[in-house]
Amino acid sequence: MSKQRVVLVTGGMGGLGESISKKMEQAGYRLAVTYSPGNTKHAEWVAENKREGFDVLAVACDVSDYDSCAKAVAEVQAKLGPVDVLVNNAGITRDMTFKKMDKVNWSAVMNTNLDSMFNMSKQVVDGMVERGWGRVINVSSVNGSKGAFGQTNYSAAKAGVHGFTKALALEVAKKGVTVNTISPGYIGTKMVTAIPKEVLDTKILPQIPVGRLGKPEEVAGLILYLASDEAAFVTGANIAINGGQHMQ
């Protein structure tokens, strides 16, 4: 990198987000992560990682709320500089059959997983265009491509992520800014590895041709590539990283 670029990772404190954050920081980026305003352990997390040599700016942000996103990005820009790379990673699940799903659980997932794409990207894309360089990387899911039982809300939101990606990519393609989607399958985060072993062995792993869960660092490595100068010709893409579970 000709200069030390700034990367902002939403939901960058836990699970997949933490692996993405550490990979980016190790690669020389100036790193900011968002955490939910209700997360009371953020200072402890930052302090623990700082002791390990992991330097990060943590900002409170409700990604489902536009004003909260504007405030968070303003703080990042004031302390680190303009955002060069945005990784829209934050997301939630509220799984249940459609018969049982209510408007509250539908809206919670749509607001956090899809509205956040607009809320966060709107804060940084104009600046990327003006500077002639930028990367927006949106984290979708294999279930946005193939659907999943009990996930009408989640699958709809994650499918919408890629529609957003393609349209925005077209608008900024000639300005040095790329916009891409990645769609992970089952990755060995704490949430997934907490699934009972019997369920993993009998229901999940048999669906994955490579016969294992993905590693968080494998997903982080893909994001590191998409953020690089070498990925300048990749835009509007949806890159599946699911061990062959769903081939497009």
29, 35, 154, 186: the active-site residue: 154
Coil, helix or strand at residue 205:
helix
Fill in the amino acid letter for 61: C
CA distance 184 to 17: 12
Residue 19 · residue 43 · CB < 8 Å? no
Residue type, 42: H
Is residue 154 among the annotated active site residues? yes
Between CA 106 and CA 242 the distance in angstroms is 25
CA distance 32 to 77: 10
Q: Using an 8 Å Cβ cutoff, are 94 and 153 in contact? A: yes
Query: What positions carry a catalytic annotation?
Result: 154
